[in-house]
Amino acid sequence: MYLQIFNNPSHGLAHLCYSSRVSCRVRLSRVLAMPPSSVLLHMDESNDLPKPKKGFCLSEDSRNSLNSLPADSLLRQANTVGIIGGVSTDSTLKFVKKLVDWSSNDGKSSLPFVLCSDPALNKELLLYEENSYPSLYHREESTPVDPKLIVENLRNKRRYLERCGAKLILMPCHIAHIWYEEVCEGSLVPLLHMGECIAKELQEAKMKPLEAGNPLRVGVMATSATLSAGFYQEKLQSNGFEAVLPDKATMEHTVIPSIEAMKREDMEGARNLLRIALQVLLVQAVNVVMLGSDEMRDLLPGDDPLLKKCVDPMDALARSAIKWAENRCS
């Protein structure tokens, strides 16, 4: 375990960057150029900072000081964003990097944020997603996951971020949006929905249907758990789009085998199968395909021509948060 602290003279606090291996220092360095008003917190399931263990460099006094801070004492800016980490730490950090890079005008300052990461929550979300593909993990029975516990954990993170001074909450995690409504209950601040963010951006793009007289069609490519939840389809349809999903044959012969190939670390095979699945959607007169899976998105190289026909809800969430922050400051 490794916890690295970066002093924050302007607020008397620290930037906390947590990783499971010391070798992750280089990977984490991508998000170290943060605004002096931003804090990264690695939380345990009880929503406290982890107790000192061998190899940690956070003192007992520092941990107690941060845990005992009164409400709204970490960040006081009116445009502070709170971020709840999702299934993948890598994906969360990539999202944070985009948020920092895209909101920075001079390469130094960006919107203030607090990031809360909990490995117990990450594991619960991952297990829930894996249970939608029991055959891929060679399980006769799926490992039980109590959605009520996931919801309560997400709510606890939301409440903690509110106490830290967050005025907007983000969940850069597709699976977590299954419980968006429940997590929002009792919230003191708004919580952006990725489906609503991407639907609004597609509306603003003012695209024309590929087939005259038909509604504008948007393909949705995601895992079985995300597709079954239906929140992306619902948001698209409520904003005037027709959502087109992979049919059963496409799921069985390309999407699921692509995920199987990823688990075997056959990335080239997984990539080729995903390309076929995307092509099957595109020939159905869809204008764009929404990629509701980070693993699928990361499979395709940046120069892949198919990416020009795809949109990423994570990117829409980051842009919407930046727009919100700019409006708060204007």
Same domain, 78 and 181: yes
pLDDT at 132: 75
| Whole-number Å distance between alpha carbons of 26 and 317 | 26
- Confidence band (pLDDT; 50, 70, 90) for 208? confident
CA 231 – CA 239 distance, rounded (Å):
12
In a domain, 267, yes or no: yes
Please tell me whether residues 86 and 142 are part of one structural domain.
yes
Domain membership flag for residue 12: no
Residue 50 has pLDDT above 50, yes or no: no
* Residue 187 maps to a domain: yes
Average pLDDT of the residues in 281-296: 93
In a domain, 119, yes or no: yes
Say whether both 246 and 148 belong to one domain.
no
Same domain assignment for residues 157 and 209: no
pLDDT at position 18: 35
Contact yes or no for 114/82 (Cβ under 8 A): yes
Is the domain of 218 the same as that of 113? no
Beta bridge partners of 116: 41, 84
Predicted pLDDT at 145:
82
Do 232 and 125 fall into the same domain?
A: no
H runs (alpha helix) in 33-88: 60-67
Q: Which amino acid is at 175?
A: I
Measured CA to CA, the distance from residue 174 to residue 87 in angstroms comes to 9
Say if residue 259 is in the same domain as residue 298: yes
Range in 134-148, 150-164, 261-275, 294-308 the model is least confident about:
134-148
Quote the pLDDT of residue 136: 54
Residues of the chain above pLDDT 70, percent? 73
Residue type, 301: P
Q: Is there a single domain that holds both residue 181 and residue 236?
A: no
**Is the separation of the CB atoms in 184 and 231 below 8 Å?**
no
pLDDT score of 75: 63
The whole-angstrom separation of Cα 321 and Cα 197 is 9
Same domain, yes or no: 154 and 217: no
Q: Which residue has the tokens 């602290």?
A: 5
Provide the domain limits for residue 79: 72-193+317-327
**Cβ-count burial 230-262 (b if 16+ within 10 Å, e if not):** ebbbebbeebebbbbbbeeebeeebbbbbbbbb
Which residues is 6 bridged to in the sheet?
A: 15
Instruction: Give the DSSP letter of residue 214.
Output: S
Based on the fold, state whether residues 174 and 247 are members of the same structural domain: no
* Mean local confidence (pLDDT), 277-305: 93
233: amino acid identity, one letter: Q
Enumerate the β-bridge partners of residue 115: 40, 83
Dihedral sign for Cα atoms in the order 97, 100, 102, 104: negative
Please say if the pLDDT value at position 46 is more than 70. Answer: no
pLDDT tens across 117-170, in order?
888 898 899 888 887 765 554 445 556 788 999 999 999 999 999 999 999 999
Tell whether 103 and 164 lie within a shared domain: yes
Both tokens of 22, joined, read 């010391």
Q: The whole model's pTM is what?
A: 0.80
Average pLDDT over residues 38-54: 47
First to last CA, the chain: 42
- In angstroms, the CA 296 to CA 223 distance is 9
How far apart are the C-alpha atoms of 78 and 258, rounded to whole Å? 44
How high is the mean pLDDT of the chain?
Answer: 79
pLDDT tens digits, one per residue of 83-111:
999 888 899 999 999 999 999 876 667 88
Q: Residue 293's pLDDT band (boundaries 50, 70, 90)?
A: very high
Mapped onto helix, strand or coil, the DSSP state of residue 106 is coil
One-letter amino acid identity for 275?
R
CA distances from 235 to 20, 67, 183, 198, 229 (A): 36, 38, 17, 9, 12
CATH number, domain of 222, equals: 3.40.50.1860
